Amino acid sequence: MKRSFLKKIYIAKRLERTIDDNGHYIERYDKPVEYMMNVQPMNAGLEMEAYGTKAMQMQKAICRYADFKDMFTENDVAYLDGASPEDEEVNGMNANYRIEAVLNQNKCIAIYFERRAGR
């Protein structure tokens, strides 16, 4: 893969999801890890058919299966488009995307990121 297409991103794994006394969900994330990946906006076609208008708020990364096997799961959070975990008080606080799907394909993995509300 051409290095010029690679972007620096961060991904924080979700550790647990609990419910507080008021019934609100509380997500806890591990410390974000830096990766270099080719992340691009979703394009029209099959992806638009699969996700509908939600695809306009999504991005996709294709990475080598051998390098990233079993590293990411749905609901981990990501820092894309210049977002950074720098100066976070709580892990995941500055993340602007959430992993929607991790799809293993022969020699590659497709990771679909959905923009988090309000970010």
Q: What does the block give as tokens for 63? A: 């990475």
The residue written with tokens 């647990």 in the block is: 16
Phi, psi of 54 (to 5 degrees): -60, -25
**DSSP string covering 37-100:** E-EEE--SSHHHHHHGGGGGGEEEEEEEHHHHTT---TT-EEE-TT---TT-SSTTTT--EEEE
Whether 102 shows a pLDDT value over 90: the answer reads yes
**pLDDT per residue as tens digits for the range 49-92:** 777 778 888 999 999 999 999 999 999 999 999 999 999 999 99
**The domain over range 3-115 is classified in CATH as 2.40.10:** yes
Domain ranges of the chain: 3-115
pTM: 0.86
pLDDT at residue 3 in the model: 61
